[in-house]
Amino acid sequence: MFFIFLIYLSFISLGLPDSILGSAWPLMNTDLGVPIGNAGIASIIISIGTIISSLFSYRLIRVLGTGKIVIISIAMTAIALLGFSFSPSFIWLLLCAIPLGLGAGAVDAALNRFVATHYEAKHMNWLHAFWGVGALLGPVILSILVFWGNSWRSGYFTISILQFALVLLLLFSLSKWKKYEDTDSNTIQYTKEINSESKMGLLNSFRRKGSAFGMVSFFLIASTEASMMLWGSSYLVRIEDIPPENAAGWISLYFIGMTAGRMLSGFLSIRINNESLIQIGCTLTVSGLLIMLLPLPIIFTLLSFIIIGMGLAPIYPSMLHQTPVYFGKHNSQAAMGIQMAFAYTGATLVAPLLGQSLATISFLIFPYFLLACVAGIMFCRLILIRSNKTGVEPKRLSQ
């Protein structure tokens, strides 16, 4: 239980910096004197770092072990966030985005793979619910500090201190990580398994039937979530005329919906399989987006943020939990790295490009774009299911 608690705690730390850029940007771009669309540039750099580290995660984990990867990665994000808080210019911000991205990729892939291989679906949903807790706390912390008369910099500084505190806790707990280390990642096994791993190769993951559609579905879900995180607050400012300092707090409704949805999905997964949860989530997301599109009072737009968050909640963790089913347990770490690379690529390319389009055309197209992404996810998962009708669910721990 202590091991899974540490994983949950680590995912809270992953969520904290993920949401604060989008919620703080309406204040940051004015302070730094750059166009509103420039948030996409910082997002691209962060995502490139996560793509690189996630692709190489399976080798890094075998060499260093999961515990050390978690500690090093969170320390890198803490240092990067501290740099954000002292950024004198947008260029400095971009430089700090490099270690922030690199720090997120490897630990994300490692912890997702461990839970997908060894624990039931409820733990995967709860794991990402704790990410939602962190993502929820980011805008809330920022909004409170700004309300008290502080700048956006104090938000980054506070979150950086929280990250450093978690690093200290993990350092004192390193022996526990070694005790519960996954045998696939244990350095003792590295010399015996590295040859078979190198023969398997990352690209061999595409040899499975329908695997390309599975990868594309990760691209689309990450594009949807990243777009909502990065531009949801700006949508409220531009379309609903909500003041920037208030919009930074209202975007937390999306993360409330996502966190609550993942907690609920953890219980539902005991009775409902992963693919059914994905389908339910897509349907609920579409409903929320349709409410956003209707010419209703602002309260309904805010309500739609909760519904969209609850709809998206089970999709990503359920897709991750299916990795050993579609790729096999032995291949799951390499496949997980590729899936997450596709996800980060979606966040890298789509959300920033969308921002430029929104700034050039209109923020009115925002919900239409998200609807198209969800439709694509539903289509890709349908093809993947039909291509893998013989997939067998591996045994996982139930505690």
Tell me which long-range contacts 201-208 makes (C-beta under 8 A, separation of at least 24). Answer: 201/334, 202/55, 202/334, 202/337, 202/338, 204/331, 204/334, 205/327, 205/331, 205/334, 205/335, 205/338, 208/326, 208/327, 208/388
Contact (CB, 8 A) for 50 and 104: yes
26, part of any domain: yes
Helix, coil or strand: residue 119: strand
Residue type, 382: L
Considering its fold, how many domains does the chain have in total? 1
What dihedral angle (degrees, nearest 10) is formed by the CA atoms of 158, 163, 165, 171? -170
First-to-final CA distance of the chain: 8
CB atoms within 10 A of CB 44: 19
pLDDT score recorded for residue 200: 47
Contact (CB, 8 A) for 139 and 248: yes
Determine if residue 149 is left, alpha or beta; phi over 0 gives left, psi from -120 to 50 gives alpha, anything else beta.
left
Q: How far apart are CA 294 and CA 287, in angstroms?
A: 11
Helix, coil or strand: residue 275: helix
- Domain with 126 in it: 12-199+208-387
Q: How far apart are CA 373 and CA 174, in angstroms?
A: 41
18, part of any domain: yes
Q: What is the pLDDT along the chain (399 residues), one digit of tens a residue?
A: 667 777 888 888 888 887 788 788 888 888 888 887 788 788 788 878 888 887 777 777 777 877 788 888 889 999 999 999 998 899 999 999 999 988 877 778 777 776 776 677 777 888 888 877 887 788 889 889 988 988 899 999 999 999 999 899 888 877 776 766 644 444 444 434 444 444 445 555 556 677 788 889 999 999 999 899 888 888 988 888 888 777 777 878 898 898 899 889 888 988 888 889 999 999 999 999 999 999 889 899 999 999 999 999 999 989 888 887 777 666 666 777 788 888 878 877 888 788 888 888 888 999 999 999 999 999 998 888 887 764 445 444 554
Determine if residue 33 is left, alpha or beta; phi over 0 gives left, psi from -120 to 50 gives alpha, anything else beta.
left
54, part of any domain: yes
Closest CA to 59 of 215, 181, 202: 202
Closest CA to 227 of 104, 376, 370: 370
Q: How far apart are CA 95 and CA 181, in angstroms?
A: 34
- What CATH number does the domain containing 144 carry? 1.20.1250.20
305, part of any domain: yes
Contact (CB, 8 A) for 248 and 376: no
5, part of any domain: no
pLDDT score recorded for residue 161: 94
Assessment of whether the complete model's pTM goes beyond 0.85: no
pLDDT score recorded for residue 118: 67
392, part of any domain: no
Residue type, 208: R
Helix, coil or strand: residue 273: coil
pLDDT score recorded for residue 49: 87
Q: Cite the DSSP H helix spans in the chain.
A: 2-32, 39-55, 57-64, 66-85, 90-118, 121-147, 152-172, 174-179, 187-200, 211-239, 244-250, 252-268, 274-293, 298-312, 315-321, 323-327, 332-360, 366-387
Residue type, 393: E
pLDDT score recorded for residue 117: 67
60, part of any domain: yes
Determine if residue 151 is left, alpha or beta; phi over 0 gives left, psi from -120 to 50 gives alpha, anything else beta.
beta
Closest CA to 288 of 228, 344, 331: 228
Contact (CB, 8 A) for 243 and 316: no
Q: How far apart are CA 331 and CA 334, in angstroms?
A: 6
2, part of any domain: no
CA 229 → CA 1, 190, 209, 293, 359, distances in Å?
31, 38, 32, 18, 16
Closest CA to 301 of 350, 355, 361, 232: 232
